Each structure stands twice: as structure tokens, then as C-alpha cells.
Structure 1
């Protein structure tokens, strides 16, 4: 699977042009339109990976890429709310708690100290909860995106039963971990090279690998698409 991900883009007949376009879009992804087009390409790449295609797709039919990119953004954003909403609530609770403790400080020192300890414990527990939810969203979100890419309709990105049944499997877990390693190691190299522009093309290549692994792992886990032959 990892070898296929590494050569997925390179096997494309126009991989140089695709990499150049992808790198430029990555560079301009802070703007809305290029970022959405890039997301649309990743949808197409996931669909190809799930179907067992050996080569990455090209940048064609940009209107379709834009629509798919918007849909993937919606899927990703909604699943990210699993972590975003609790994080916002945690910030509010800490803010209110800090204000309350500071007000209590004008009274007895003992009450202020007890309030500070209580706030610290509550913040720690809630912080750990937010961390776990963030990790969960980072793990399940790609599975939701893969299911959307495979099925081709937005509703598939929120088919909780199918998504969870595919996400909590050995096949997907291995693929997700491989994608994490690829992102950390090669993404770090690409980040360093970004200072001389070349890194943006490396980062695009790395992201194609990452999306390939997510989709391939999810497809293997759910039996959708063509099964891979191994790592």
C-alpha cells in the first residue's frame, strides 16, 4: 500500500504537469478558489485510489473539481466540529472560571486558592477530553471524506454507520498511521523546502500520497472498490 501511494502520482502520464499545477494551487491555497479546486482534486484521487487505479488522475473538468472540493470542505468542516465545539466551550468555561476566581481573590485567600485548584483540575480534565475528541475527529474525518469520494454523493460523508464501521478496522488504522508517518516525515521536508518554493510541489505530492492511503485503507476495510495486495 505504501509503495503504491509513493508511485501513485509518478505513474500518471502527465505527472509533471499535474505536480506543477498542484504545487501552484497549494501555494495559492490561502485563497478560496485554488484551495477548493485542490480539495476537488483530492476527491478525484481518493476515488481513483479506492477503485484500485495505479495512476493519479489529471486536472481536468475544473467545474467538477470545484463542486467536489466544496463538498469535501463541508464534510471535513462538519466532522471537525466534533473537536471545535468542545474547544470553544472549554475556552468559555476557563474564561468564566478565571474571572470568578479573580473576583473571589478580593475575598478570603482560602476561597481563592480552592477556586484556583478546582479550576485547574476542571481545565485539565476538559482539556484532555478536547484532545481526545480532536484526535477522534482527525481519525474519522478522512474516513468520512473517503466514503464521500467513493460513493460520489454528499450524504455518504455523513453515513455514520458505514464510516465508523470502516474507520475502526485494522486496515484503515494501518493506512491512517502510514499516512501520519508520511505527513510528518515527508511533510517536514516539504515544509523546509517551501522557503525555496520547491517545497510546495513536494507538499502537494505528499498530500496525494496521504489521500491515497486514507481512501485505499477505507476501501479495503469496507470492501468498496478493488482490494489492495498489501502494504
Structure 2
């Protein structure tokens, strides 16, 4: 799977053009709008990888790219809201515990309640970390299902998402994507000081989205008895 993913951005008739366009859009993300075109391209990668395409999509039909990018942004926003709600709850518990425990040793009842809140605060923090890790693991599957079905609602189809992400195929793809992001992403980031790294970062993004799309689709097909992607 890893070798396929690493060669994927270089397949097709015009891989250099695609990487150049993707890198230029990455350079222009300070103007915001190019971000949505890139997001739309990543949706196409997820969609193509999910259906077994061995060649990356091209930058064409820019209107559709923009629409898909806006949809993926909306999905990201909704997922982020879940994390923010958890963060708010944890912060509220921490704050309440600090205030009550600050009553001092003379105020035994308050100190006792503060201690309880402090315990809940620690548990809440651990819960928050667990939620963030879980979201980081599940979110790519949500994005992949959204791309497959071309529907924002599909990103929150709980049964389908669970079926897809609770498989060895998805786990392997997710781990590989993280490793590629950490290793090659770090190298490309260092090279960004001479601009060429920007194009490297785009290449890394293409590889990781391919892995997410392929891993989710293969896992889902395997779980539901379909024709799984050959590895």
C-alpha cells in the first residue's frame, strides 16, 4: 500500500503540472480562496482512491473544485465544533475546581468540593485528550465517506463510519499516513525555506489523502462483504 501511495502523485500523463499547480495554490493560501480549491482537490483524491483509481485527479472544473472544497470545509467545521464543546466543558470544570479550591484550608467544605472538582477536571482533561485522538483517527474516514457519497450527511453516517474505521485496512492506512506526514512532511517543511518544500508538502498531502481514501474504502468493503481493494 505504501509504495502505491508514494507513486500515486507521479502517475498519469501530467503529474508535474498537477504538483506545480498544487504547490502554487499552497503558496497562495494566504489569500484564503485557494485553500478551498486545494480542499476540493483533496476531495477528488479521496473519491478516486475510494473507487480504486490509480492516477491522481487533475485540476479542472474549477467551479466543482470550489464547491467540493467548501463542503469539506463545512465538514471540518462541524467536527471542530465537537472538539470545542468538549474543550469548553473541560475548561469549565477546571475553572470551577480552581475557584472552589482557592477558598483556602479554612473553608473545609469548599476545599472538599474543590478537590472533587479538581479530580473531575483531571478526568475531564484525559477525556478531552481521548476525544481529540479519537477524532484525529475517525475524521479522515468521515471525509472519505463524504467524498464517496458526495454528501455532507454521509460524513456523519455513524454506522458506515464505524464499519469503515474499525478495520485493519483503515488502521494500517492511517498509521502509514501519519508516518508519511511526520517524516516526509518534516523534510518538506525544512525545505520550505527555499520554496521547493511547498511543492513537497503538497505531494505529502496527496499521498496521505490517498491512503485515507483507499484504507477506508478497502476496510468498508471488507467489513460489509464487498470486493475489497487488493493490497
CA–CA distance in structure 1, aligned partners of residues 38 and 6 of structure 2: 19
- Report runs of 4+ in structure 1 exceeding 6 Å deviation: none
Residue 187 of structure 1: CA displacement? 1.1
Residue 84 of structure 1: CA displacement? 2.2
Q: Kindly indicate whether residue 226 of structure 2 is the aligned counterpart of residue 228 of structure 1.
A: no
Paired residue secondary structure (1:228): coil
| 1:127-174 Cα distance to aligned partner (Å, 9 max, x none) | 110011111111111111101111122221121111111111111111
Residues paired across the two proteins, number: 228
Equivalent residue runs for 1:153-192 within 5 Å = 153-192=151-190
**TM-score, normalising length: structure 1:** 0.90
CA–CA distance in structure 2, aligned partners of residues 82 and 192 of structure 1: 33
CA–CA distance in structure 1, aligned partners of residues 111 and 96 of structure 2: 16
Q: Specify the alignment match of 2:78 in structure 1.
A: 78
Q: Specify the alignment match of 1:200 in structure 2.
A: 198
The CA RMSD over aligned residues, in Å, is: 2.1
Residue 33 of structure 1: CA displacement? 0.9
Paired residue secondary structure (1:54): coil
Gaps of 5+ in 2: none
Q: Kindly indicate whether residue 69 of structure 2 is the aligned counterpart of residue 64 of structure 1.
A: no
Residue 115 of structure 1: CA displacement? 5.8
Q: Specify the alignment match of 1:16 in structure 2.
A: 16
1:82, 1:133 within 8 Å by CA — same for their partners in 2?
Answer: no
Residue 78 of structure 1: CA displacement? 1.6
Specify whether residues 28 and 122 from structure 1 end up closer, same or farther in structure 2 by C-alpha distance, changes over 3 A only: farther
CA–CA distance in structure 1, aligned partners of residues 159 and 70 of structure 2: 23
Higher relative CO (Cα under 8 Å, sequence separation at least 6) belongs to 1
Q: Specify the alignment match of 1:51 in structure 2.
A: 51
Residue 95 of structure 1: CA displacement? 2.3
Q: Specify the alignment match of 2:3 in structure 1.
A: 3
CA–CA distance in structure 2, aligned partners of residues 208 and 9 of structure 1: 7
Gaps of 5+ in 1: none
